[in-house]
Amino acid sequence: MKKIILLAICCYCLCSTVQAQTIVEDFKPSTLNQPGQLYPQVNSQGYARFKIFAPKADSVKVSLGLGGSGGTVLTKGDDGFFTGTTGGPMDEGFHYYNITVDGGKFNDPGALNFYGSVRWESGIEIPAHDQDFYALKDVPHGNVSQILFPSKSTNTSRRAFVYTPPDYHKNTTKKYPVLYLQHGWGEDETAWSNQGHANLIMDNLIAEGKINPFIIVMTYGMTNEVKWGKINEFKIEPFQTVLVDELIPYIESHFRTLTGQPNRAMAGLSMGGFETRLITLAKPEVFSHYALLSGGVYSVEDIKGKATPKLIFLSSGSKENPDRVKQAANDLKAAGFNAVSYVSDKTAHEFLTWRRSLKELAPLLFRSK
Amino acid sequence: MKKIILLAICCYCLCSTVQAQTIVEDFKPSTLNQPGQLYPQVNSQGYARFKIFAPKADSVKVSLGLGGSGGTVLTKGDDGFFTGTTGGPMDEGFHYYNITVDGGKFNDPGALNFYGSVRWESGIEIPAHDQDFYALKDVPHGNVSQILFPSKSTNTSRRAFVYTPPDYHKNTTKKYPVLYLQHGWGEDETAWSNQGHANLIMDNLIAEGKINPFIIVMTYGMTNEVKWGKINEFKIEPFQTVLVDELIPYIESHFRTLTGQPNRAMAGLSMGGFETRLITLAKPEVFSHYALLSGGVYSVEDIKGKATPKLIFLSSGSKENPDRVKQAANDLKAAGFNAVSYVSDKTAHEFLTWRRSLKELAPLLFRSK
């Protein structure tokens, strides 16, 4: 009897990886839809369903689908709507996508747009089992302020967003340390608050008393001037000048900041991690806490004798290259550095990895004396 | 000889209204394009030109065109691009638009999006001869802060944007009066800074010493729950509660504000003016300065014996109903009120009218003792 049950379970397991599972019809509008829009929708299994009106079109395709599937082809109905569902459950969290209508690339009129891939893309959210940590809750909220700071090196006023903690307005003599937090290639200074919910993550951590409140500054890393695939040609110096010589002095003269190297951290996701590594190593006197989120690693040789970081944080999605960050952190620890690695379970090179990474990083920042 | 010249001028005038003028080929990308996008373009005469890639589509139409034209039909080229130019010069300033691809409504992938018509729409900017007053200049800039304030009446955290003047951070004991500034129907709390450049208008006026600096608060007026054409069914009470009982106390406890009726103004464009009129009349003890921008008028009967506004500002585009605001302001002045009318030259029910209105309104606010 036991053998039969085991066989049945085994067969079920094997079959379920080959055959499509039954789709549960509990689809709800994605939380990132435009006001009042019913599509796209997501079900409890993580399938996404799309519905696009284009009555005279011949073909509509959604870029989002299972890995390697090349997307989801929609089927035209008599009512002029194209509909379709992904071929399987998507990873939890945020995904960029776009739609192709008769060969032209557009956005889904139902979804909000997010800057990624050097364009404003449609976004969809597959509810994550741990979504509570970035949910909008009834807790005191910090502000996200758009600032325009003068930049002589680029001869313009540049934009940044500054998160200030909920109690920033209360005690007008209190000063805060600062995390400079970079987006990835194709994105810009809007990414960490729009896609990343960095402000809500901070609000929630602060409400739970889990972190020493700090300011976060997010600006454009000038990453998108270089084409994807030619990242090696990227020159860090122009952005390093903007960040270190222009933005930091502006922040420290316009916000109540604790100044000096011990009170400054730099972190970045993907290409923003690449930038973080280059700038922290070039300017060890400026930053004391370094974090690369799906953005490479530091070797012991990078740091030893050159910098004295108080923290090195390395993270990755489990579907990326988690062993690399774990190994690097172990090597750094063995060499005497305060290094931490974090692997986000069942996520790839996407924003849920980075939301979780920020949640893990924040409590570690500005703790050491 | 004089007769001949007159005749020639007359003929020229008549002909020019009938025949299309020669299009000057000095088209440049709209200033509201997405980074790196070459189309849409605008020329020195105010024509707009569009270019959309949709190689397998049969028809692409742009909603923007001369009044009554129903838009601009684009022509397909062998390269898969649809191109076309408006049938004449557009009004100066900002315009919303969308494109129809084989019967479906989408946005122009080249343009930035702005929330209007209860959807994120494409936006294009026809350079105005007076654009300097809302240009990004090398002057001290104020911040636009996203706040999330608790709202018991709607059982959620609601979003608002708060403009603080450039010197807000400097003197931490200085307090400021506050203008509550509403968007129109179909728009939301992002409109006044994104489409309206309210922050840049303020920065420039402050740099020129033309105004007494104040804070601006912009939140969602809950206008879009009612369909356009059924505005009469709109109930002001839910928004009035949010604004007066929830947002104002939050602002006055989280920002350094001068409190009390003399230090609060309310203004709104279009349906935001409709809201402003209702709320200022219902709560004369809350606001002292009232402004309706293309948003109706106050009659003497509305106010006399019921409220004691320090300022009533009424504005309109010259292509709307300018006589109505002028007449209303004259009547109010004759009845002893400090009423001012402003008519924006050669503009309709669009954002250049409201940018200019804010520029005219701001120097009049919080001046009287």
- pLDDT tens-place string over residues A24-51: 999 999 999 999 999 999 999 999 999 9
Considering only CA atoms, which of B297, B287, B308 is closest in space to residue B217? Answer: B287
The pair of three-digit structure tokens given for residue B310, joined into one six-digit string: 């320090």
Share of chain B above pLDDT 90, in %: 89
> Could you tell me the domains of chain A?
23-127 (2.60.40.10), 133-364 (3.40.50.1820)
**Residue that is written with structure tokens 């003599």 in the block:** A173
Round the CA-based radius of gyration of chain B to a whole number and report it: 22
List B341's β-bridge partners, or say none.
Answer: B314
The arrangement of strands across the sheet holding A119-126 comes to A93-97, A119-126, A113-116
User: What are the phi and psi torsion angles at B301 (to 5°)?
Assistant: -65, -30
Give the mean pLDDT of B293-305.
Answer: 97
Residues of chain B positioned with their CB less than 8 A from the CB of A136: 148, 156-157
Peptide bond into B109 cis (omega under 30): no
Candidates B103, B172, B255; nearest CB to A55: B103
Residues of chain B positioned with their CB less than 8 A from the CB of A157: 136-138, 141
Peptide bond into B140 cis (omega under 30): no
In this prediction, residue A6 carries a pLDDT of 40
B53 and A104 within 8 Å at the Cβ level: the answer is: yes
Residues of chain A positioned with their CB less than 8 A from the CB of B102: 54-58, 101-102
Residues of chain B positioned with their CB less than 8 A from the CB of A147: 141, 143
In this prediction, residue B68 carries a pLDDT of 67
Helices (H) and strands (E) in chain B, counts: 9, 20
List pLDDT tens digits, range B128-154: 999 999 999 999 999 999 999 999 999
Chain A residue with minimum CA distance to B37: A119
Question: Binning pLDDT at 50, 70 and 90, where does residue B301 land?
Answer: very high
Q: In B89-196, which ranges are E strands?
A: 93-97, 99-101, 104-106, 113-116, 119-126, 143-151, 156-164, 178-182
Tell me the C-alpha distance between B164 and B353, whole Å: 23
A6 contacts: CB under 8 Å, gap ≥ 6? none
In this prediction, residue B114 carries a pLDDT of 98
Tell me the C-alpha distance between B354 and A206, whole Å: 40
If you count residue pairs, one on A and one on B, with CB atoms under 8 Å apart, how many are there? Answer: 130
A 10 A CB-CB count for A58 gives: 14
Tell me the C-alpha distance between B151 and B243, whole Å: 10
In this prediction, residue B125 carries a pLDDT of 98
Tell me the C-alpha distance between A74 and A51, whole Å: 8
- The strand pair at A289-293 and A311-317 is best described as parallel
| Mean pLDDT estimate for chain A | 93
Question: Binning pLDDT at 50, 70 and 90, where does residue B17 land?
Answer: very low
Distance (Å) from the alpha carbon of B115 to chain A's nearest alpha carbon: 10
Tell me the C-alpha distance between A15 and A22, whole Å: 12
Give the mean pLDDT of A261-266.
Answer: 98
Give A367 or A126, the one with higher predicted confidence: A126
pTM of the model: 0.94
Residue B183, SS3 per DSSP: coil
Mutate to test the interface with B, among A102, A164, A199, A201 (most CBs of B within 10 A): A102
